[in-house]
Structure 1
Amino acid sequence: MVAIDVPASLESFRRFVIASTCSSYIPRSYIEDEEVFPEREESLGSIYVEAADKVTLKKVRDITFVNARDVLGIIYNSKSGNTALKWRQLRRKGGKVTGEASPNSLVNLSEGGVITPEWVDQYLKKKNLEHSSA
């Protein structure tokens, strides 16, 4: 597992969650709406959006889509249990992502714009240095 502690926009974390869970079947209008977020029940790897104003839109498969305004935080746990991440608001739509991510989640974090390819390169270089000095 990889420790994550990076600044991230709300939209980049939303894109990560979509890429990790429902990109193949999310309605197009929901992808384009920055206020629509996926949620999932705890037994399936919970995804929870904490917001000042939240309305349930539609359930598709195991995902419930919600319209959320003034998002304070998002908790994401993968089905496999290998990834546990939290996005916390620091100011408006800017925040911080912390937690543990699997290698598969790193790809989605990068695709969503939460971490950059450079971040991944730096992490891999650091890991290689730790292994070679051990």
Structure 2
Amino acid sequence: MRWATRRGVHIDRAAGAWLIRRFIDPEAEFVFVADPLEVPRDATAFDMRGVELSHHGPDCTFETILRRYELDDPVLWKLAEAVHEADIEDDRFDAPEAAGLDVVLRGLSMTLDDPAVLAITGPVFDGLYEYYRRATLLGRPPA
């Protein structure tokens, strides 16, 4: 399946792409557009104004995707807190790692094209997921 998002991959787009590829559509192909009107007809748009899979109410795109696809994994919801804080910065969650995550993603988007950013950030989000998974199992940050 094809998925479309705006050019300029930042935290919510990178996290959303990772979530889609890891938990919804392992064969996902991503298309980057300058304007929502450029979304191909055979693509599902995400993280763009006016589309279903975007910010809604207090939720960032990552949270919207979790809700839409009924992904109730508590580890994903913990990861969503960091993505939310990095993207929206509303202090809704205590996620101190959010600021660093945001800076790293912004820096990557300044030096690489969008597909390369997704290639690098996939393993980053895999690592965050595993860290939060172990923290959940242990009831404390893993050593």
Global fold match (TM > 0.5) = no
Q: Specify the structure having the higher radius of gyration (Cα).
A: 1
Structure with the bigger RCO (C-alpha within 8 Å, sep 6+) is 1
Normalising TM by the smaller chain, what interval? 0.3 to 0.5
User: Which protein has the bigger strand share?
Assistant: 1
- TM-score, normalization: structure 2? 0.33
User: Which protein has the bigger helix share?
Assistant: 2
